Chains A and B, each alone.
Chain A
């Protein structure tokens, strides 16, 4: 069964350092999403890609966060510099298209900033 892959699964870093997360969506899925899930809360969308284009990044803190999906397949989310408040689970999801009802989630990357 096809799955969304993410790496690393866990990341511990010190504040002011740079971190990067990788996501490989289900093959053929045109839409890719990055979510942030703070402990005890529901996921919140950070950025949405349709192929290689950003569709929605209205909740992405652009002063420190960046995301790219250069060839419209896998994607990288970067934080530089990391802050204590960035500690959270970062989830990637994909769907066949933006209008599709179902999104398929990866296992997530748990980030701890010390």
Chain B
């Protein structure tokens, strides 16, 4: 079945450092790919998405490019802030009525 693999955390960075969180997937067909963020005690918020190969999703300084050849959707940000500290989930969804399949999440800790 479809699956998502994320790098294990926590990822610990200093403010203004460069962020990469790796995500790879296994799926049949051409899924849509997502990054969700979960702040402490809250539900999930959609951060960005890409629906086809070579699409780049971006939001709030975060970017991720849908790479079909490497089945990857790595999350990047050029300069992280303390407020970016959260858990980040990579997810995929097949076409039509397919459900969202999530990775296990990667915790990001940013120190001043």
Using a CB–CB cutoff of 8 Å, the interface residues on chain A facing chain B are 4, 6, 33, 40-45, 48, 55-56, 91, 93, 98-99, 101-108
Q: Choose among A4, A6, A42 the residue that contacts B105 (Cβ–Cβ < 8 A).
A: A42
Q: Nearest chain-A residue to B36 (Cβ)?
A: A105
Q: Choose among B49, B97, B102 the residue that contacts A98 (Cβ–Cβ < 8 A).
A: B97
* B contact face: mostly helix, strand, loop, or mixed: strand
Q: Assess whether B99 is in contact with A42, with CB atoms less than 8 Å apart.
A: no
Q: Choose among B32, B43, B95, B104 the residue that contacts A105 (Cβ–Cβ < 8 A).
A: B43
Smallest CB separation, A3 vs chain B (Å): 9
Q: Assess whether B103 is in contact with A42, with CB atoms less than 8 Å apart.
A: yes
Provide the bound-state CA to CA distance between A42 and B104, in Å: 4
A-facing mask of B79-112, CB < 8 A → 1, else 0? 0000000000101010111011011110000000
Q: Nearest chain-A residue to B89 (Cβ)?
A: A42
Chain A residues, Cβ within 8 Å of B36: 105
